[in-house]
Chains A and B, each alone.
Chain A
Amino acid sequence: MNKLLLETRELRKTFGALVATDGVDFDVREGETHAVIGPNGAGKTTFIKQISGELRPDSGEIRFAGDDITALPAPQRSHKGLARSFQITSIYREFSALENVALAVQAHAGHSFRFWRAAREDPALTGPAIRILEEIGLDRRKDVLAANLSHGEQRQLEIAMALATRPRLLLLDEPVAGMGTDESQRMIELLATLKGEKTIVLVEHDMDAVFTLADRISVLVYGRIIATGTPVEIRANQEVRAAYLGEDS
């Protein structure tokens, strides 16, 4: 069995009376694609935000690659190898696709207290950025303003920016949300190419994506993980069917 890359222990987060994360123990093995599913309001995004460092848990521990990162702010977690895509598309709308990715490259190319040379003409930044855009299939759109990309392309750009930070773990928050059938199919294919190469935590509503991509699935309901297992196990789990899958069928 591969060693653990990410683990959370007894993670807890409340907002007033609402317990959004209720003592979550969660493991991600190096190299696996681990999906987190759950009905709306189950606390999936709150959970992801604690892993990425945008929210501080009330109690509990988060370990990444053996280190306790519970108190580490988001930028430092990025430097440890955690990258995240957002549920609601989060890009630099007034920058070109290339500039978006180049910024992510720049964030991991030493400090940016460099005041004189034009960053847009720096091959140390644009070179890697173009290669990632090629990988992701956006290279022909590199000079288009991010705001003018289609929704699907913007979602791809998010993935490209995450990849540009050369992460060990990709946290993907609903990467196919709001996509048409064709677009989401293309995104699933893209993610399939990353599967195995990268460790991925995939939060997703789209069951096609989840059952196509995930090695393991954890089911989050009312802030608790009620089951973790392979897709086959999860499909067969009575509690999951009652709490979640049953609602849809």
Chain B
Amino acid sequence: MITTRNWILVAILLLLGAVPAAAAYFEQPFYLDLLRRVMIFAIAAVSLNLILGYGGMVSFGHAAYLGIGGYAVGILAHHGIHSGWLQWGLAIGASALVALAIGAISVRTSGIYFIMITLAFTQMLYYLGISIEEYGGDDGMRVPVRSQFSGLVDLNDGTQFYFLVLGILAASLFLVHRLVNSRFGMVLQAIRSNEARTRAIGFSPYPYRLAAFVISGAMCGLAGALLVNHTAYLTPEFMNWTRSGELMFMVILGGIATSAGPLLGAAVLLLLEDVLQGWSLLPREAVRDHWQLYLGIFLVLVVLFARRGLAGLLPGKNE
């Protein structure tokens, strides 16, 4: 059974599929670039939504996996290994492993402790990134050669790269959709809803929460591999805590525990950022220098008046 809102989500993905042709027709390649960035962050937000939205685990350190995915690609490329299979495999594997280690400790906690522990681990990785001069340290390093896939896809071709990102986004959305409706997903949501009850009927929350945490980390690691290919530049800023905050914003703005939410949140946040920075209708100084202020006001309004986020405003039933 597919809900109205999921049909809307499918329609949005189809529209995104038409963007390369439109961008070529209007000779606006910039939009291809912008939307590719939006979709990469959407994948990260989809992964965060799995644990934050459905699992009730407010991870304030999700940028860690963007970083690990990015460094997996960057480090291998730095040493002359450009195979995307290896790079992306390492990105996913290393992210899963780190998520397993961080999760093993943090998912035992909840609420504010969980937030602080996930933040602390990510800060550790951030400073680790800064301290390793070999891989650019504080300044970061260029990753000039993009991941290579035995000639199957060429990431240097903007359109091909775009469609690959779109495909991975669609696959992530579908995967999370299946996950949250499976037995596993029902347990995950049950734990979020009422942990004492869930224990009383016979579920031990820990392994289920940990598994979700690892899946989410691995998926976000893949987003990190995409992001470093997108920017062709690797810096510890991938893992900055403000990045973790942005991902949380995307999920909350779009609507937690909704299927379309992370994509809508990523799109609105990044597009608005872009528009506000380049807006020429209002006095430039006032807007350009303070665009975050306007963004902030908008976010406050959404949180106040759209309890289920932007996805909650779509026609159709609340999930």
Contact = CB atoms under 8 A, between A and B. Distances in A.
Given A75-B202, A84-B200, A117-B182, A94 B187 contact: no
A90 B194 contact: yes
B183 A90 contact: no
A87 to B, nearest CB: 12
A95 B193 contact: yes
Contacts of B190: 92, 95, 103
Chain B contact surface mostly: helix
A118 interface: yes
Interface string A68-85: 000001111011000110
A142 to B, nearest CB: 16
Contacts of A75: 199, 202-204
A95 B186 CA distance: 10
Contacts, number: 98
Contact of A119 (B182, B194, B197, B203): B182
B178 interface: yes
B201 A165 contact: yes
B185 interface: yes
B186 A119 contact: yes
Contacts of A76: 204
Contact of B196 (A90, A103, A162): A90
B121 interface: no
B174 to A, nearest CB: 11
Contacts of A78: 199-202
Nearest to A114: B183
Nearest to A164: B201
Interface string B91-108: 000000000000000000
Contacts of A244: none
B185 A119 contact: yes
Given A92-B194, A106-B187, A83 B179 contact: no
B203 A165 contact: no
Given A75-B204, A78-B200, A79-B202, A103 B178 contact: no
A54 interface: yes
A194 B203 CA distance: 25
Interface in A108-130: 108, 112-120, 122, 125
Contacts of A95: 189-190, 193
A21 B196 CA distance: 21
Interface string A10-43: 0000000000000000000000000000000000
A119 B186 CA distance: 7
A74 B196 CA distance: 9
A75 B211 CA distance: 18
B204 A115 contact: no
Contacts of B199: 54, 73-75, 78
A31 B196 CA distance: 27
Indicate the member of B196, B200, B202, B207 with the most A CB atoms within 10 Å.
B200
A120 B189 CA distance: 13
B4 interface: no
B197 A92 contact: yes
Contact of B197 (A90, A108, A113): A90
B291 interface: no
19 contacts: A54-B200, A75-B202, A75-B203, A78-B201, A86-B196, A103-B201, A106-B183, A107-B203, A112-B184, A112-B186, A112-B208, A114-B184, A115-B184, A118-B178, A119-B181, A120-B181, A161-B197, A161-B201, A164-B201
Interface of B: 178-179, 181-187, 189-190, 193-194, 196-204, 207-208, 211
The 4 tightest CB contacts between A and B, nearest first, are: A78-B202, A107-B202, A114-B183, A112-B183
